[in-house]
Amino acid sequence: MRLSLFMTAALAAATLQAADNSFLLRNVTVHPVSGPDVSNASVLVVDGKIAEIGAKITSKAKVRVIDAKGLHVYPGMIDAGTMVGIAEISSVRETTDYNEVGDFNPQLRSAVAVNPESDHIPVTRANGITSVLVLPATPGSGRGGGGGFIQGQASLMHLDGWTWEEMRVEQSAAMMMRLPTMSAAASFDPATMQVRRGSYSEGRRNFETQMRTLRGFLEDARRYRTAKLAKDASLKTDLRYEAMLPVLDGKSPVLINAARQREIRTAIEFAAKEGFRLIVAGVRDPGDQLKVLAEKKIPVILGSPYDTPLDDDAAYDEPYTLAARLNDAGVKFCFASFGAQFARNLPYQAGQAANFGLPKDVALKSVTLNAAEILGVAAKAGSIETGKLADLIVTDGDPLEIRTQIKMMFIEGRQVDLESKHTRLYKKYLNRP
Amino acid sequence: MSLRSLALGVLALAQLPLLTAQSPGSPVLIKDARIVTAAGPVIDKGSVLIRNGLIADVGPSVQAPAGAWVIEGAGLTVYPGLIDALSSWGLPSAAPTAGPAGASAGARAQAQPAQPRSRGPEDRPQTSSWVRAADLVQASDRRLDTARSAGFTTAVTFPKDGIVAGHGAAINLGGATSGAMVLDASTGLYVAMRSGRGGGGGGFPSSLMGVMAYVRQLWMDAQWYKSALETYEKNPQAGPRPAYDRAAEGVLAARRVLLPASSRVEIARMITFSAALKTPVVLYGGHEAFRSVDLIKAANLPVIVNVKWPTKERDADPEFKDTYRTLETRDKAPSSPVELAKAGVPFAFTSDGLDSPADLVKAVKKSIDAGLKKEDAIAALTINAARIYSLDRRIGSIETGKIANLAVVKGDLFDASSKVEMVFIDGVKYAPAPEAPAPAGGAPGGGRRPGDAAENNDEVNR
């Protein structure tokens, strides 16, 4: 009862704020990411967009003034791969809406499945994340992850809005795919109680068979496109082939999870052969493909470094230094949590990489501007520049540091509530008699 | 099936007089050969006299009795017959163990109705501790020929299905009947720490901790059963009689227990476990003994080292990287016997089945190359195995009075060019199978009795 009253109040507050998307933020240090920091400056936001940045604001617009003396402004962070909004409790079927069955589902749009009331949304926002790329299937390479080859459209969503339409930044930021793998099915050996790897030749055969299926579908999609361009009147609309058109035209990239050297090589060769724009996600052990990624300017989405190395003999810090190695090789990358409840840890993924050799400015870029560029939305997000959407966070320090507090958040200029289930529980238990 | 075994039985019976007439018949003298006795120094030039299936005499100067069949031993080396210390030779490949336990092989699934999934130790899953290899021996096993061709005369053979699989038997790898082959019908209880998951059984125990807890419980049950029986025997009027428990009976009958211990963690685990058992323990596996000799020495347990050394998987993924530990194990496993010998730990060898007779020498040669002394290698294949199973009064060395189990080799056993010329089992000569075992139409080796050959062709042709 008390809780529902509280929530009603919070909703009312959000409604009021939503109406107001213009303001002047004063006395702050601006970290635009796209350029050098500016201290003692102001940021003017008009109608949800950044209008002006500088020590002296020339515009005479009458807006709400927010004095944030001593605080810092950063662009809101972007998590480039999550299940936020489509997976509430992953083990409860009714609360999840991803991983469709079937090999080819390009027509699926994850944006429409997003629940604006998800409890994960305010929790994720609390650490400074304003947008997330919502994936239509569990990411994972090899035998991990959701099934199918073409899994659907990944949508970039703001973490604020009454409906999914309001939250939507880019509905088709990437087409999520999973390529067949060459490793054969492992089996449990009861005698040794260990998992035994399948035979390589069997794995290869499966791989070739599955690739043939995949190529067959892509050929059908191309024939559909040709017929459509020829204005063939007999052509029956097929949502799957329609959804493939931007991919075939090279407008929309494919996002392929590939952890190891061979998976990455397979993905690169596949994309080159099909003429697709490629984003490689979930890179963990790129091996000799690191150079190729750099040469071909293929961007990468990295997962969490808080993991053990893939191989037993690898250095303990291999996951920590991966980002720095990519950066040294000249590969552009951003970070993703690839989850729902831990999406809030995104800034600390970049922070950990910064502690292990990644320059701090690149670390910050990897959760802001790089993500926007990789996902094709750099014209409107990812940095504090005039004309871009006012997705901003106001902090008392470096947002990649755990102790830093997010004091204010703006999404398209609307000030967003920073309360979440965590803060509610915090307050509740603080008052425990 | 029954008709067939009846026919075979009749066949065997028909041959019996012929066999008894032949085998203990005339004495055999192997003259002027090199003799590796495994019971003292090598006799560079000496003779062995075989009579009544036993070694009647051995030494530098043994006279041939009248009527003896003399084998000129120049260029030959006589060894005690080799012993495989942990085998399944002579047993049907999927032993028809009865009961709810150990249903794993597909063949058995056909023979028996499916058992309900076990839910806990009370169902006694994967246990057939009452099964005795001695009752299952088949003289017609085709593998015996291959084994003899490698110089083996004896194997300690075990049922291997399930977790507590059954009692082993020491068998000679040839004999007039299955029963005649058995040297010792109770060599120990074979235990494998395997999961009930997969295979026909399903159900409990599926995890390693489940298996361990289950085996511990089984041993406790057996001890309780024993004391309950004793109490009841003293005063049957005092209470209800304890129910007959064949699993507990089987456990109590064990003279020793064989526990799987190949990796260091398994070795450590089984050593800890052995302390809880009231039965002497023999470890088997031993591939990582080279990195565990401290543990084994401290526990003072004998080890049966499996000389089928770990190798790179066939058809492995070329981009898969083996761990350093795996590579090291692969590289150093053959040095395990070296380390055991240095530490004074008694050990024997198992060939873990042979694909071809040459495999044994190749495998043991790797240990010799890693520093194992030849006499230690021979001891592991002969007298040590006999000692581990308390058979050393009867087999394991060339000494007067022991069973005439001998391997006669051209050259030195561990030379690549060596060739097993013949073996003697209970004084009966067997010639090796022809080289390169062709799958079809290989002529049976000379010296085999016609009945054996007939049985083989009838029974085991693939």
Q: List Cβ neighbours of B292 (8 Å cut-off, separation of 6 or more).
A: B264, B267, B268
Predicted confidence at residue B289, as pLDDT, reads 97
Per-residue model confidence as pLDDT tens digits over A34-93: 999 999 999 999 999 999 999 988 888 789 999 999 999 999 999 999 999 999 998 888
| Those residues with Cβ within 8 angstroms of residue B394's Cβ, 6 or more apart along the chain or in another chain | B183, B386, B402, B403
Q: What is the pLDDT of residue B198?
A: 55
Flag if A190 and B194 touch (Cβ within 8 Å).
yes
Characterize the bridge pairing of strands A23-30 and A64-75. parallel
Residues 300-339 of A with CB under 8 A from B: 311-313
For residue B455, the model assigns a pLDDT of 36
Q: What is the mean pLDDT of each run of 10 residues along chain A (433 residues)?
A: 47 49 96 96 96 89 92 98 94 88 95 97 97 93 79 98 97 96 79 81 92 97 97 95 97 96 96 97 96 98 95 94 98 97 97 98 98 98 98 98 97 96 96 95
Residues forming a β-bridge with A82: A134, A339
Is ipTM over 0.85? no
Which chain B residue has its CA at the smallest distance from A192's CA?
B194
**Assign residue B352 a region: left if phi > 0, alpha if psi is -120 to 50, beta otherwise?**
left
Give residue-wise pLDDT tens across range B3-34.
Answer: 444 444 444 444 443 343 344 568 999 999 99
Q: Does the pLDDT of residue B201 top 60, yes or no?
A: no
Average pLDDT over residues B406-424: 94
CA atoms within 13 A on the CB side of A188: 12
A193 in contact with B, Cβ within 8 Å: yes
| pLDDT score for B114 | 54
What are the distances in angstroms from CA A89 to CA A92, A93, A135, A139, A157? 5, 8, 16, 17, 20
- Report the distance separating Cα A118 and Cα A161, nearest Å: 12
The percent of residues in chain B predicted with pLDDT above 90, rounded, is 68
Q: Which of A143, A192, A261, A266 is the best mutation test for B, with the most CBs of B within 10 A? A: A192
Q: What is the pLDDT of residue B196?
A: 73
Q: Please judge whether A197 and B320 are an interchain contact, meaning their C-beta atoms are less than 8 angstroms apart.
A: yes
Query: What are the C-alpha distances in Å from B373 to residues A345, B316, B333, B357, B388?
Result: 61, 34, 16, 22, 20
What pLDDT is attached to residue A143?
A: 65
Where do the domains of chain B lie, and which CATH numbers do they carry?
1-81+396-462 (2.30.40.10), 82-393 (3.20.20.140)
Q: Which residue has the tokens 């240090």?
A: A29
Q: What is the pLDDT of residues B357-409, one digit of tens each?
A: 888 889 999 999 999 999 999 999 999 999 999 999 999 999 999 999 999 99
B324 → chain A, closest CA residue: A313
User: Which run of H or of E encompasses B386?
Assistant: helix B383-388
In this prediction, residue B202 carries a pLDDT of 62
Query: Residue B94: what pLDDT?
Result: 56
Average pLDDT, rounded, for chain B: 85
Q: Residue A75 burial by CB count (10 A; 0-12/13-18/19+): exposed, middle or buried?
A: buried
Which residues, at least 6 apart from B198, have a Cβ–Cβ distance to it below 8 Å? Answer: A187, A188, A189, A190
Tell me the pLDDT tens digit for each residue of B101-134.
333 444 343 434 456 677 777 888 889 999 999 9
A309 contacts in chain B (CB < 8 Å) = none
Residues of A in contact with B193 (CB under 8 A): 193
Answer yes or no: is pLDDT of B449 > 60: no
**What is the set of domains in chain A, with CATH numbers?**
1-76+383-433 (2.30.40.10), 77-381 (3.20.20.140)
Residue type, B276: A
pLDDT for B319 equals 84
pLDDT interval class at B354 (50, 70, 90): confident
One DSSP character per residue, B138-199 reads: -TT-THHHHHHHTTEEEEEE---SSSEEEE-EEEES--SSHHHHEEES---EEE----SSST
Task: Report the sign of the C-alpha dihedral through residues A49, A53, A58, A60, in that order.
Answer: positive
Contact A199 B325 (CB under 8 A): no
For residue B21, the tally of other CB atoms under 10 A from its CB is 9
